[in-house]
């Protein structure tokens, strides 16, 4: 199998320190192992996409010296593949229409889990009388996922109790992230998914979909996150400043440090971005969290999902 991973930014703004850590970490790890680094633009959530942001992210990656392999994939071009996956889920009896509004879910949910409120299954056995389906959910009843994450270690998740039935097609008709992500990751044949630790809770639902769709399971490696001074994840929402692609060295040094690497001061004063990337590739040899393991990525499911 070819070693390959991807950086999959949502074009909701310019490249910032948080996304640079994901880009640089995934690049260094896969390149050090001799693999390919691809870029996918996750532009499905059209109301949140900012015009020009995808181009600005791609230009910044090039200026920084993070050159990708193969063509850039845009999720907005992939509706037919997502529709086909929905049809497969439907044929397996795993999908159901849900009439609940966000407010109704908030009122009915008893608990929240790693991915927010846990849907209590209101519409799983049929829509309430007089109600219309809005979104499509996938059933998670009986699904137990265990995996060995390359950086975060062993993860166990009883999906129905900890995440709940999740949406694969939203009430506005858009395909949801989990569905699009697994379809695209499988189509590209990525051996590894290397991304920020903030997406760890997304992995059990994504593995659930891979099983339902008979897609191969890549190995997962969730990187530590860039946090701001208040301990919040660095993202556009928390006002992470955009990277200046003309002067990327300070951000690159910070990104290396956030990955647990420590470029020497002499280098940080004189290096170019390309020089820091070359240094990072060498430095990975001493960073076990940033090395791809060889062990099995999953245990067998404890309970196979039964349609």
Closest CB 48 distance from ligand GLU, rounded Å: 10
Our CB check for ligand GLU shows the closer of 104 and 198 to be 198
- Torsion angle of the four alpha carbons 134, 140, 146, 147, in this order, in degrees rounded to the nearest 10: -30
Look up 236 and say whether it is catalytic. yes
Q: Which residue is nearest to ligand GLU (CB)?
A: 42
- Residue 69, classed as helix, strand or coil, is coil
Closest CB 149 distance from ligand GLU, rounded Å: 14
Residues of this chain that bind ligand GLU (CB under 6 A): 8-10, 42, 181, 195, 199
Angstrom CA distances, 265 to 90, 250, 270, 276, 297, stand at 57, 12, 9, 12, 37
Our CB check for ligand GLU shows the closer of 251 and 283 to be 251
- Is the Cβ–Cβ distance between 224 and 59 less than 8 Å? no
Our CB check for ligand GLU shows the closer of 195 and 208 to be 195
Our CB check for ligand GLU shows the closer of 9 and 25 to be 9
State the number of CA atoms in the 13 A half-sphere of 3 facing the CB: 15
CA 25 to chain centre: 14
- Helices first, then strands: H and E counts in the chain: 10, 12
Closest CB 274 distance from ligand GLU, rounded Å: 24
Closest CB 124 distance from ligand GLU, rounded Å: 26
State the number of CA atoms in the 13 A half-sphere of 162 facing the CB: 16
Residues catalogued as catalytic: 236
């Amino acid at each position: 199998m070819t070693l390959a991973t991807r950086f999959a930014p949502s074009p909701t703004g310019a490249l910032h320190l948080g996304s640079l850590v994901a880009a640089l970490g995934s690049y260094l790890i896969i390149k050090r192992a001799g693999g390919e680094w691809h870029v996918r633009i996750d532009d499905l959530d059209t109301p949140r996409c900012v015009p020009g942001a995808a181009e600005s992210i791609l230009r910044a990656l090039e200026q920084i010296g993070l050159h990708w392999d193969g063509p850039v994939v845009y999720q907005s071009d992939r509706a037919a593949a997502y529709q086909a996956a929905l049809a497969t889920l439907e044929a397996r009896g795993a999908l159901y229409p849900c009439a609940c509004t966000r407010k109704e879910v908030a009122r009915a949910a008893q608990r929240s889990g790693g991915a927010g409120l846990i849907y209590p299954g209101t519409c799983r056995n049929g829509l309430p009388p007089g109600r219309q389906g809005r979104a499509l959910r996938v059933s998670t009843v009986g699904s137990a996922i265990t995996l060995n994450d390359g950086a975060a270690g062993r993860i166990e998740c009883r999906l129905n109790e900890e995440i709940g039935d999740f949406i694969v097609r939203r009430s506005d008709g858009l395909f949801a992230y989990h569905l699009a992500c697994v379809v695209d990751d499988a189509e590209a044949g990525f051996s590894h998914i290397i991304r920020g630790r903030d997406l760890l809770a997304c992995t059990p639902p994504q593995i659930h979909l891979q099983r339902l769709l008979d897609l191969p399971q890549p190995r997962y490696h969730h990187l530590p996150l860039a946090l701001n001074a208040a301990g919040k994840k660095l993202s556009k929402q928390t006002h992470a400043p955009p990277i200046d692609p003309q002067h990327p060295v300070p951000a690159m040094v910070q990104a290396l440090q956030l990955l647990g690497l420590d470029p020497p001061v002499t280098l940080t004063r004189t290096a170019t971005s390309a020089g820091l990337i070359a240094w990072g590739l060498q430095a990975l040899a001493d960073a076990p969290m940033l090395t791809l393991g060889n062990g099995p990525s999953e245990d067998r499911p404890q309970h196979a999902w039964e349609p």
